[in-house]
Amino acid sequence: MFWLENAIGVEVLARVHWVNDEAITATPGGKYYLGQATLTINIDDLETAQRTESEGGKVVIDDHNMQITKIIPMGAPDINRYRVICNGMGDRQ
């Protein structure tokens, strides 16, 4: 028996925008999203997103394996949210 000292998973809720609606194709299992996704996250989740990006960037969005490629600060006059750009890795979880 052994115990893990580190967190092995983090669930962050975000608003997801699939960039190209034309890339959504119907399959017997439902709609399959391809291409890019844009997430809008809270400032509280920035540290998790930055750590994930530095460790390879792999995230799971709506059961699709994706990779964080860019984190953009948003908001006026103060930064109060972040836009996270993700690219599909070509497979589902």
**Is the predicted pLDDT of residue 14 greater than 60, yes or no?**
yes
Residue whose structure tokens are 């070509």: 90
- The partner residues of 5 in beta bridges, in order of sequence, read none
Per-residue pLDDT tens over the stretch 18-31: 765 555 555 666 65
Residue-range domain boundaries for the chain: 15-92
- The partner residues of 64 in beta bridges, in order of sequence, read 61, 92
Q: What is the DSSP letter of 44?
A: G
Per-residue pLDDT tens over the stretch 45-81: 899 899 889 988 888 887 788 899 999 999 888 898 9
Q: What is the DSSP letter of 76?
A: S
CA 41-45-49 angle, to 5 degrees, is 85
**62 φψ region: left (φ > 0), alpha (ψ -120 to 50), beta (else):** left
